[in-house]
Amino acid sequence: MTEFGDRRKIAFHNLGCKVNSYETEAMLRQMQEQGWEIVPFEPGADVYVINTCTVTNIADRKSRQMLHRAKMMNPDALVVAVGCYAQVAGKNLLKDPAVDLIIGNNEKSRLAERIQQRLQNAQDALFAEEIGRVKEFEELPFGGGGEKTRAFIKIEDGCNQFCSYCLIPYARGRVRSRSPESTLREARRLAEEGYREIVLTGIHMASYGLDFPGDAGGSAAYGEPLAALIEAFAEIEGIRRIRLGSLEPRIITPAFAERLAAVPKLCPHFHLSLQSGSDGVLHRMNRKYTANAFLGEIEALRGAFERPALTTDVIVGFPGETEEEFEETVRFLERAKFYETHVFRYSRRAGTVADRMPDQIPEAVKAKRSAGLLALHAANKAAFERGLIGREREVLLEEPVPEKGEDFWTGFTPEYVRLTVKAPGARQGDLLTVTVGEEML
């Protein structure tokens, strides 16, 4: 690493979830406000920032690969590891010659300051406090995105669930909620910038507000603070759509679903992480619900909304998963008919309870089970999309499609189904009501 002088080019690369994407955009804006030039993640940058992920072993490997790629693109550059992998692997990363600065999950708001200190030859290279002790939500600079259609707002960080396979509570800490005042202030700014759709996101969003003091938190019903926040968002002029990130399934009760359905701006698109349709596997995962309870939550949403798009995550090959337990998951998915099912092969994580479990499943078995569920996903997805044909849907236009011809755009319905439509004279961010045709899918 050499003296930088007036060189002020910085490149970002994001790995992982929607929360990471939001935080990367916020850090990017933070550096812009400090006078840095944002450049592509290519050779030529003076500083490379990689927002890392640690949700699986593959995510760890990709994080290391991107850090090494950055150093190879410019050996004299400052390479900064930020985020979840940086948090849990901090001291080990200090030994990696490709990494010059390590920023944990409650230091991102000080990125510009830490980079400047390091460029001035400060010796400190690791800033990752014990995340489990952090009790305050870290406010990041106002974020948004490049296009003027959809923006993410992070409303919560951390997780108290401690699923037996997951490192996220150790990387993100305990639940910490952003104040409604700060959250709504950001939403109003986004609306003024021209964004039409807001996506609420967090690590365990169903726990939003349960850490607030007094009546706003510990004594509140599960889901009450989140429902109240959604209702407040709906009052913001200019925001036409509200979309939710992943929800913990236990938050869905008939009363909660009916309350959400009473918000016309809320998109009928819900991601509920299942992970397994077998009660035995769910118990070993420490998921705290049963398959039948999950079905009841699906029914609550389908009773409150007309044809909502329901999506989920499933892990195959969890330790001890028998053929019978896997078949229980298959039967559950056939019955639930999710719009989309994101299938993951179980990834062994050192430091978790599942890592110490017997009967670890061979990779070949995981691959076979994954292929079967992916085929079921494709069939369910196609069936849901065909069910939209002939129905009127509002489309939020996002990108022109010149290869289709003049005036063609892609955009998303409230269910988050991508359509290609002809819209003469349209602009990015326009909302257009169309009758869905097969050629649009």
Return the closest-CA partner of residue 150 out of 35, 272, 244: 244
N residues, the chain: 441
Q: Residue 86: pLDDT above 60?
A: yes
pLDDT in tens, 225-245: 999 999 999 999 999 999 999
Q: What is the pLDDT of residue 145?
A: 56
Return the closest-CA partner of residue 202 out of 144, 117, 137, 259: 137
Return the closest-CA partner of residue 381 out of 430, 343, 325, 421: 343
Q: State residue 96 phi and psi, 5-degree precision.
A: -85, 115
In the chain, the amino acid numbered 355 is D
Cα(316)–Cα(193) distance, rounded to whole angstroms? 42
Q: Is 226 exposed, middle or buried (0-12, 13-18, 19+ CB in 10 A)?
A: buried
Q: Give the residue-averaged pLDDT of 173-195.
A: 95
Strands, E assignment, 30-179? 37-38, 47-52, 78-83, 101-103, 126-127, 150-157, 176-177
Q: Give the residue-averaged pLDDT of 352-357.
A: 97
pLDDT in tens, 248-290: 999 999 999 999 999 999 999 999 999 999 999 999 999 999 9
Q: Domains of the chain: which residue ranges?
A: 9-129, 150-386, 392-440
In the chain, the amino acid numbered 358 is P
Q: In what order do the strands lie in the sheet with 47-52?
A: 37-38, 9-14, 47-52, 78-83, 101-103, 126-127
Q: Residue 2: pLDDT above 50?
A: no
Q: What is the pLDDT of residue 3?
A: 47
Q: In which band, very low, low, confident or very high, does the pLDDT at 213 lie, cut at 50, 70 and 90?
A: confident
Return the closest-CA partner of residue 1 out of 152, 84, 117: 117
Please, which residues have CB within 8 angstroms of residue 209's CB and are 6 or more apart in sequence? 177, 216, 217, 220, 224, 225, 226, 228, 229
Can you tell me which residue has the tokens 């019978």?
324
Strands, E assignment, 299-424? 309-316, 340-345, 392-400, 408-412, 418-422
What's the Cα-to-Cα distance from 350 to each of 107, 317, 356, rounded to whole Å? 25, 17, 8
Q: Give the residue-averaged pLDDT of 146-154.
A: 82
Beta bridge pairs of residue 266: 242
Which of the four CATH numbers 3.20.20.80, 3.20.20.140, 3.80.30.20, 3.40.50.300 does domain 150-386 have? 3.80.30.20
CATH architecture of 9-129: 3-Layer(aba) Sandwich (3.40)
Cα(408)–Cα(426) distance, rounded to whole angstroms? 9
pLDDT in tens, 410-426: 999 999 999 999 999 99
Q: How many CB atoms lie within 10 A of CB 360?
A: 14
Q: What is the pLDDT of residue 122?
A: 80
Cα(344)–Cα(271) distance, rounded to whole angstroms? 15
Q: What is the pLDDT of residue 4?
A: 47
Domains 9-129 and 150-386 are alike in CATH topology: no
Beta bridge pairs of residue 177: 156
Q: In which band, very low, low, confident or very high, does the pLDDT at 5 lie, cut at 50, 70 and 90?
A: low
